[in-house]
């Protein structure tokens, strides 16, 4: 499934991105980016588990509704090849925002 492959790729890229960015004294720091990547990775793992178990009915519809947005955010992170901590953090925060929106909607429908 393309979604699962994208999630696994995202986790690998996000963790590498967080660890490999050069330290130039800019804010946010490499460590902050790494921590954000770990947090986003944890949220992605929950989504992968839910998606893997094939949520049905309203829950499945909610997952499907956010799939393209989350995949796009993951692709943006995977395709980022710069060395700006600010840009890396922005991409991670965008992905986190989309994951949080998904989580809130799933929670509202008692899917979590």
Please report where in the chains the tokens 């839910």 appear, as a residue: 50
Q: Read off the pLDDT of residues 67-95 as tens digits, 9 standing for 90 and up.
A: 899 989 989 988 988 888 999 999 999 99
The alpha-carbon radius of gyration of the chain (Å, integer) is: 14
18 pLDDT higher than 60: no
pTM of the entire structure?
0.71
Asked whether residue 25 carries a pLDDT value surpassing 90, the answer given is: no
Q: 2-11 pLDDT, tens per residue?
A: 555 555 565 5
Which residue reads 């004294």 in tokens? Answer: 25
């Amino acid at each position: 499934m393309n979604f699962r492959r994208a999630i696994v790729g995202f986790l690998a890229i996000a963790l590498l991105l967080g660890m490999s960015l050069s330290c130039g004294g800019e804010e946010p720091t490499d460590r902050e980016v790494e921590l954000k990547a770990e947090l986003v990775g944890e949220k992605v793992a929950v989504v992968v588990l839910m998606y893997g178990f094939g949520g049905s009915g309203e829950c499945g519809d909610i997952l499907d509704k956010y799939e393209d947005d989350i995949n796009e955010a993951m692709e943006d992170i995977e395709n980022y090849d710069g060395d700006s901590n600010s840009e890396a953090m922005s991409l991670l925060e965008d992905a986190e925002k989309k994951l949080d929106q998904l989580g809130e909607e799933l929670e509202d429908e008692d899917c979590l």
